[in-house]
Structures are given as structure tokens and as C-alpha cells.
Amino acid sequence: DGGITQSPKYLFRKEGQNVTLSCEQNLNHDAMYWYRQDPGQGLRLIYYSQIVNDFQKGDIAEGYSVSREKKESFPLTVTSAQKNPTAFYLCASSAPLGGGAGETQYFGPGTRLLVL
């Protein structure tokens, strides 16, 4: 089955610790995205990548880092510099841009990060 997987479903972080959230897709999509959701807020873009070995900061990139070494994988690291990491994190992917319509994004099931 084609789709996007995220792991783990729940993740606990201790103070000062870096943690990495996994996102894998087998849809052969070039573009991948990381969003954060907080209660009462819309999804906010953290980082995105349009192609392997390239990525761009979104609206709330501070305290996060990403890598894009493989087309199918886009892991997100929440660093100790992120002072309020408790949130729900969604990964998405889309086919290459074309047609001027903005490609539909396909979402994973999400990871909930909690701080101990």
C-alpha cells in the first residue's frame, strides 16, 4: 500500500534532549513537509523539502532541524533549543509542483511529542 508512515506515535522528551521524528513515504513524491499543530491553532509549517538534499525553513523553524538524504525519508529533529516542543507533528508529501494549482498534500498519521 502506498502512503506515509510516521513513527513513533507518541514520543517523550526529557529536558535538554534532542529527539528525532521519523517520516517515510513510498508515493514517489519529491516534496515533503513538516507541520506542527497546537491546540486552537492551524497547522504551521516547520520545514519543507522540494527535492533530495535540499530543504527550506517554514514559518516556525527555530529549534528544529531536518535532513533529506533520500527521496522517501524526511526526519525531523526537535532540538533542546525548542523551548516549547509539546505538540502534534504531521508529515506530508506531494508530487512535484506543476499546473499552478498547488499539489495535493498527503499526510501521515502524526506523532505526539510530550515533554517529561
Partner 1 sequence: ILNVEQSPQSLHVQEGDSTNFTCSFPSSNFYALHWYRWETAKSPEALFVMTLNGDEKKKGRISATLNTKEGYSYLYIKGSQPEDSATYLCALVWGSQGNLIFGKGTKLSVKP
Residues forming the site for partner 1 (CB under 8 A): 4, 33, 35, 40-45, 48, 50, 56, 58, 90, 94, 97, 100-110
What is the Cα–Cα distance from 92 to 40, expressed in whole angstroms? 20
Q: How far is CA 7 from CA 10, 51, 82, 97, in A?
A: 8, 22, 20, 27
Least distance to partner 1 from the beta carbon of 106, Å?
Answer: 7
Which C-beta is closer to partner 1: that of 11 or that of 92?
92
Give min distance, CB of 45 to partner 1, in A.
Answer: 6
For the purposes of burial, counting CB atoms within 10 Å of the CB of 28, is it exposed (0-12), middle (13-18) or buried (19 or more)? exposed
Q: Which is nearer to partner 1, 50 or 65 (CB)?
A: 50
Least distance to partner 1 from the beta carbon of 31, Å? 8
If the CB atoms of residues 16 and 100 are measured against partner 1, the closer one turns out to be 100
User: Which set of grid coordinates corresponds to residue 59?
Assistant: 514559518
